Amino acid sequence: MPSAEDFACAEQPVGSPGPGEVLLRNLYLSIDPAIRGWMSDAKSYLPPIRIGEPIRSGTLSQIVASDAEGWPEGLIVQALAAWESYSVVPTHNLHGKVRPIAGIPLHAMLSVLGGTGLTAYFGLLEVGNPRAAETVVVSAAAGGVGSIVGQIAKIESCQTVGLTGSDEKCAWLVEELGYDLAINYKTANLRAALAKSCPRGIDVFFDSVGGEILNTALTRLAHHGRVVLCGAISQINAPELPPGPSNYLQLLAKSARMQGFTTLDFANRYDEARERLAGWIIEGKLRYRDDIVEGLDRAPEHLLRLFSGEHRGKLMVKLAEAEV
């Protein structure tokens, strides 16, 4: 588990963009479990953050200087940048130009219309591939991704069950987000509760938690069930690799699959996803909650809140206002 002492603030001159690069003024930082993964030396889809380097982060940023055609100054972009006031990045780190939408605040471009929403959208619809009337179970259901997954599943006419760690969050899932059922995994017998709430088995298990929650859910998979691997927040701070899910052979017994993904796999479809997500927000079918603190110095504490399980919705840090 990282602690506040593992982080330090440093001042450096603002860089200048070279050919094919832009200088960004970062407006919001996205606080995601992926950051903790990048802090590890384990091999992943991106290289580890090295000691002394700024923390890699999804951001909502404004281009303030550009040496890249098609990326003019003033443009607001989603980017893979860092916990910095200003970042120089190559254009392949820019994940789309942000067009503000009437009635939707800018920071939503980093949550429900950003990586969080895209993760929920592609993970559920493309990897989980739910069909109407199927049962979709979501772990970390009150988190940034999970709170959106359940609502998309409902839009797709699925039966939805959310797993979360307090009765208060259970109530929020059902009353505000429209989950059909919610289970407090800290107080319930999860196996029995899943058996009761998913009498025909779990068709799609959208998992961001791993560990015993995943292992228990595997025992309740339906025939041809699909486990969407989005993360393993329960294991992300483990000093050694924890045991894998001993029930993995349920995948064989149920002709089921377990599949990982990143939104980068669907990079050519971000616009389509954002358009549909924005449409659902405007129609009132999709709610979201952004948990925002202000100031670069507060980024470490906000990251640590991700692991405490007390937050609801998407965590982000506000650094600056966009300039018009």
Q: Name the site residues for its own copies (rule: CB under 8 A).
A: 42-45, 210, 215, 219, 223-224, 229-232, 235, 241-262, 265
Which is nearer to its own copies, 86 or 270 (by Cβ)? 270
The pair of structure tokens assigned to 261 is 């993904």
Find the angle CA(314)-CA(316)-CA(319) to the nearest 5 degrees. Answer: 160
The residue with tokens 């995948």 is 251
Give least dist CB 232 to its own copies, A.
Answer: 6
Which is nearer to its own copies, 62 or 208 (by Cβ)? 208
Which is nearer to its own copies, 103 or 243 (by Cβ)? 243
Give least dist CB 247 to its own copies, A.
Answer: 7
Give least dist CB 221 to its own copies, A.
Answer: 10
Mark 288-308 as b/e (b = at least 16 C-beta within 10 Å): bbbbbbeebeebbebbbebbe
Give least dist CB 224 to its own copies, A.
Answer: 8
Give least dist CB 255 to its own copies, A.
Answer: 5
Closest CA to 288 of 89, 91, 145: 145
First CA to last CA across the chain, in angstroms? 40
The pair of structure tokens assigned to 56 is 């890699």
158 CB burial (10 A radius; 0-12, 13-18, 19+): buried
Which is nearer to its own copies, 12 or 268 (by Cβ)? 268
Give least dist CB 219 to its own copies, A.
Answer: 8
The DSSP output letter for 317 is E
Which is nearer to its own copies, 181 or 232 (by Cβ)? 232
Which is nearer to its own copies, 110 or 227 (by Cβ)? 227
Give least dist CB 45 to its own copies, A.
Answer: 6
Mark 16-26 as b/e (b = at least 16 C-beta within 10 Å): ebeeebbbbbb
What is the spatial distance between Cα 276 and Cα 171, in angstroms, rounded to a whole number? 27
Give least dist CB 191 to its own copies, A.
Answer: 13
Biggest alpha carbon–alpha carbon distance for the chain: 60
Which is nearer to its own copies, 148 or 236 (by Cβ)? 236
**HEC per residue, 74-138:** CCEEEEEEECCCEEEEEHHHEEEECCCCCCCCHHHHHCCCCHHHHHHHHHHHHHHCCCCCCEEEE
